[in-house]
Chain A
Amino acid sequence: AQSVTQLGSHVSVSEGALVLLRCNYSSSVPPYLFWYVQYPNQGLQLLLKYTSAATLVKGINGFEAEFKKSETSFHLTKPSAHMSDAAEYFCAVIGDNYGQNFVFGPGTRLSVLP
């Protein structure tokens, strides 16, 4: 069965610093991978998705993620953190039945310090 791990339930960075949020997955099939962001008391908003095209995926708000098959990773990065990036971030993989059910990681809360 598919699973997703996110190393670090809480990450703090200074404003202007590099953001790195880690995601590792297990999948018995070539994966489709997603990053979502959630602001307090709101739903999830799609940041970016990997669907077996380019391994480096660019998303909204300056975020990007790199798919590394050998490491089964899909880490999310942003070169320079902004205060507005403070939120919870979820990595997700599509399950075996291709497109029906997602498996979400537990989430990483990002704090941005002034």
Chain B
Amino acid sequence: DGGITQSPKYLFRKEGQNVTLSCEQNLNHDAMYWYRQDPGQGLRLIYYSQIVNDFQKGDIAEGYSVSREKKESFPLTVTSAQKNPTAFYLCASGDGSPGQPQHFGDGTRLSIL
């Protein structure tokens, strides 16, 4: 079955540590997205990528970094510069055509030790 796989499901970060969240899709989608979800705030866009080797900042990119070396993969690194990283992180993909939905993975919950 085609879909989006996020790993790990749960992740713990120590102070001053960078951590990387994995996102892989086999839907052959060109566009991929990272969202942060906090209670009562909906989804906020961190980064997005429309094609390989290209990505743009979203609304809350500070303290995060991404890469897009392969069409299937869009890893997100939460750096030590992100002072409040505790959240639920969702990865999504889409073919980028007008009116087409985004498809979501099952998320990674990041907590601070």
Query: Which residues of A are at the interface with B, using a C-beta cutoff of 8 A?
Result: 9, 32, 34, 36, 41-46, 49, 51-52, 90, 94, 98-102, 104-107
Cβ of B48 under 8 Å from chain A: yes
With a cutoff of 8 Å between Cβ atoms, the chain B residues found around residue A107 in the complex are 40, 42
Q: How far is the CA of A51 from the CA of B98 in the complex (A)?
A: 9
Nearest residue (CB) in B for A6 is B42
Cβ of B105 under 8 Å from chain A: yes
Q: Could you say which of B11-19, B74-82, B89-97 contacts chain A?
A: B89-97
What does DSSP make chain A's interface, helix, strand, loop or mixed? loop
With a cutoff of 8 Å between Cβ atoms, the chain B residues found around residue A102 in the complex are 45, 102
Contact in complex: A98, B41 (CB < 8 Å): no
Cβ of B31 under 8 Å from chain A: yes
Known A43-B106, A45-B104, A101-B48; judge A106-B99 contact (CB<8 A): no
Q: How far is the CA of A9 from the CA of B40 in the complex (A)?
A: 8
With a cutoff of 8 Å between Cβ atoms, the chain B residues found around residue A34 in the complex are 101
Contact in complex: B99, A51 (CB < 8 Å): yes
Query: Which residues of B are at the interface with A, using a C-beta cutoff of 8 A?
Result: 4, 6, 31, 33, 40-43, 45, 48, 50, 58, 88, 90, 92, 94, 96-107, 109
With a cutoff of 8 Å between Cβ atoms, the chain A residues found around residue B99 in the complex are 32, 49, 51-52, 94, 99
Contact in complex: A105, B48 (CB < 8 Å): no
Partner pick for A99 among B4, B40, B94, B105, CB 8 A cutoff: B94
Nearest residue (CB) in B for A49 is B101
Tell me, rounded to whole Å, the shortest Cβ–Cβ distance linking A34 to chain B.
Answer: 6
* Of listed A9, A32, A34, A44, residue having the most chain B CB within 10 A: A44
Nearest residue (CB) in B for A106 is B42
With a cutoff of 8 Å between Cβ atoms, the chain B residues found around residue A99 in the complex are 94, 96-100
Nearest residue (CB) in A for B41 is A106
Known A94-B98, A99-B97; judge A104-B109 contact (CB<8 A): no
Tell me, rounded to whole Å, the shortest Cβ–Cβ distance linking A107 to chain B.
Answer: 5
